[in-house]
Amino acid sequence: MSGISGVRTWVAERPPAAGAAVMATAVVSIGLRLAGVEVVSRIFLVLACLAWLTLAVTFALRLAGQRGRWAEEARDPAALTAVAATAVLGTRISLLGVQPLAEALLALSALLWPVLLFAVLRHWGQRMPGTVFMCCVATQAVAVLAATLAGAEATAWLAHTALVLFWLGLLLYALAMPRFDTRQVLQGPGDHWIAGGALSVSALAGARLISAESARLYLWNKDDSDVLHQVTAILLVLDLACYAVLLLAELARPRPRYGLLRWATVFSMGMTATATLAVAAALDVSWLDGPGKVLVWVAVAVWLAAAVGTVLAGRAGNSGPQETGAPGVTSTARR
C-alpha cells in the first residue's frame, strides 16, 4: 500500500512540465502512424489519452482548489505544455478520423493558449532554460491541429487561422532565442531539446498547411505556396541540424540520470521524426521516408527509456533528479 500511496503522491505533485510526457507520447503515436505502424501507433494513442486525462484532472483541481499555486505555475513556460499536449493529441485523433473530438480539443487548446501565453510572456527573463521555446511549440501545435482539421473537413478559415499561427510561432521562436541560455546544450536536463522541437513542430505545421490544399479547397496562390514550400524545407533542414548538434552534445557530455524534463527530449526527437515524414509527403521528397522511419524508432527507444525512468521514479515517490531545471537556472515560476 505504501507503494501505491507513493505513486498517488507523485502524480498529485506533478509540476507543469509533466505535460511533456503527453506531448511525447502523442507525437510518437503520430510518427508511428506516418511510418505505417498503425497497431503500435494506437497503443501509444491510448497511453497518450490516459496521460492527458491525468494531466487534465490535475490542471482542473488546481484551478478549482489551489488558485495561488495555479497562477504561480502559469507563469512558467512549461505550463504551455498543457496547450501543446492537447493540440498534439487532437492532431492524432483527427488522423484517426474522429473529427468532433479533435474539434473539441482544438477549442480547448485555443482557449488555454492566449491565457497561458500572456502569463508566460509577462514573466520572461534572461538566460532561460529550453522551456522558453514552449511559446513557439504551443502556438505551432495549435496551428498543426487547425491545419489538419482544415484539410480533413475542407474548412478554409481554419487553414487561414493556422497560417497566422504558423507565422506567429516563428516570430515567438525568434524572440525566445536571445533569452535561451546556450550553456544548457551541454548542461540541460532534457528541456534544452525543445530548441530543436520548436523547429520541428514548425516544419510540421508548414507541411500540414501545404497538405491542406486540395481540389475541394483552394487556399494558396502560387506565391503563397512557393513561400510555404521554401520555409517548410528550411525549417526541416534547421531542425535536423539542431538535432545533430544536440545529439553530439549529449554524447560529449552524457546526462544519463532520469529527470521529468527528459520527456521534452522524447517529444523533440519524436517531433523531428514526424516532421521529416510529413515534409517528405507534403513536398514529395520520397528519399526522406527512410531517415524519417529510422528517427521514429529512435524516438520509440528513447520513449521506452523515459517510461522506465518514470515508473522507477513513481515507485520511489519522487520525480528523479534535475526535474525542474538545470544547475544554475532558476525557473521563472519561482522568480
pLDDT digits (tens, 9 = 90+) for 15-36: 667 789 999 999 999 999 999 9
Among 138, 82, 72, smallest CA distance to 332 is for 72
Q: Which domains does the chain have, with CATH numbers?
A: 2-320 (1.50.10.150)
* Percent of the chain scoring above 90 in pLDDT: 69
| pLDDT per residue as tens digits for the range 213-243 | 876 777 888 888 899 999 999 999 999 999 9
Residues 80-115 pLDDT 10s: 999 999 999 999 999 999 999 999 999 999 999 999
Tell me the pLDDT tens digit for each residue of 166-189.
999 999 999 999 999 999 999 999
The CA distances from residue 53 to 22, 56, 59, 262, 264, in Å, are: 10, 5, 10, 21, 19
Q: How many CB atoms lie within 10 A of CB 115?
A: 12
3-state secondary structure of 167: helix
Nearest to 209 by CA among 194, 220, 221: 220
SS3 319: coil
Cell triple for 21:
510526457
The pTM for the full model equals: 0.89
